[in-house]
Amino acid sequence: MRNPIKIGIVGAGNVGRTLAVILSANGYYVEAVTGKSPHNIQIDNYTAYEITGDFGNKQYLVRVIADIVDLSQDLDIIFVCTKIFDAVSMLKVLREKIKPTGAIVTIQNMFWIDRVASLVDPNNMVCMHLDFSCKTVGKKTYIKNSDGIKLGVVRKEAFDKLEMVHDVLSNVCRVKDTNDIVGLTLGRNIINISISSLGAISGLKLKDILLDRNGRYLFVKIIEEEMSLLNLLNIKVMPYDGKLDYYKFLENGISGKIYKRKIMRLLIKNNGNIVSSALRDFEFGRKSELLVVLNNFIKYSSFRGLKVPYIRQIYDMLCQISKNERRISEDAFYDKNLVKIGEKK
């Protein structure tokens, strides 16, 4: 029996496909906005997607729509799973596609919360964090290390929307709510930005970044600059994964050094093979979400009179890579402009 709640999914990459399959397989009406895939069977307006892993082995025909303007007008929930620069441009259209009681759910990044809130009524806005990873190979999407999904809102008036989204998702995976979506977002993004940035300029895995003397130094300096802005904004950052306490990590003195070594050993042991999520974008000349995130961070800092020289220089290096003006190389950690920043201090 089909559930009466109608759902739209914008962007059927790894995350969009996963949501489309698990929701469709559980009786929800789903429309997915995506281009045609050469790897998947297509029947009329439907595409066959397959997932395997922590959410089980499922195949399902999902209704596919080519353009967001063709989405139904009375959707209860829209999941926005595209990259930042695509999502923001689409929100003006998407806000007309939900019911007054509906919710727009964004995969959250702290540095565009205010931009989203300016385009979508915050009372209809639910923020979502994915605690699982997924990768598509051919026609099959693999899900692993699933801790489900975390949800939060930036306005208490949106609690009823959060409850609706929670009820829907809890039928298909583990779901937790958080009262501090900003702190949770930052706790995840701080380390992710550092890993993604350094991995993108060097091409190295996390363990190789942290085993390099300059790589370790830059890893700490990027986190330090990010935390400087958040302290200026009086935002309390939650520990990453319940283990990495950023405040302890940046402490001076013996205790801070011991804690840094402990965390870096854990990262090398448990997460050493992680590769920058942005690396393939730069390798294949695609527009990278990382550049948008870094640019927004620099703008936020500049507006408040805060200097972030390491982040700014790494941003400039990534821009050069995207324009084919420099190569991705492990020698990037020894770039003369990065070294000069340290010498000035």
The model's pLDDT over 248-263, given as tens digits with 9 standing for 90+, comes to: 999 988 999 999 999 9
pLDDT band at 146 (very low <50, low <70, confident <90, very high): low
Model confidence at 112: pLDDT above 70: no
Distance CA 56, CA 141 (A): 11
What is the DSSP secondary-structure string of 15-51? Answer: HHHHHHHHHHTTTEEEEEE----TTS-EETTEEEEEE
The pLDDT score that the predictor gives to residue 307 is 92
pLDDT band at 78 (very low <50, low <70, confident <90, very high): very high
Q: Would you state the structure tokens that stand for residue 255, as one six-digit string?
A: 């205790």
**Which sign does the torsion angle of CA 152, 25, 140, 13 carry?**
negative
The model's pLDDT over 271-283, given as tens digits with 9 standing for 90+, comes to: 899 888 889 889 9
What is the percent of the chain where pLDDT is above 90?
A: 39
Whether 195 contacts 249, CB under 8 Å? no
Q: Does domain 183-344 have CATH number 3.40.50.970?
A: no
* pTM beyond 0.95, yes or no: no
pLDDT band at 110 (very low <50, low <70, confident <90, very high): low
Model confidence at 67: pLDDT above 70: yes
Range(s) for CATH 3.40.50.720 in the chain?
Answer: 3-179
Between 4.10.490.10, 3.40.50.170, 3.40.50.720, 3.40.50.300, what CATH number should domain 3-179 receive? 3.40.50.720
Range(s) for CATH 1.10.1040.10 in the chain?
Answer: 183-344
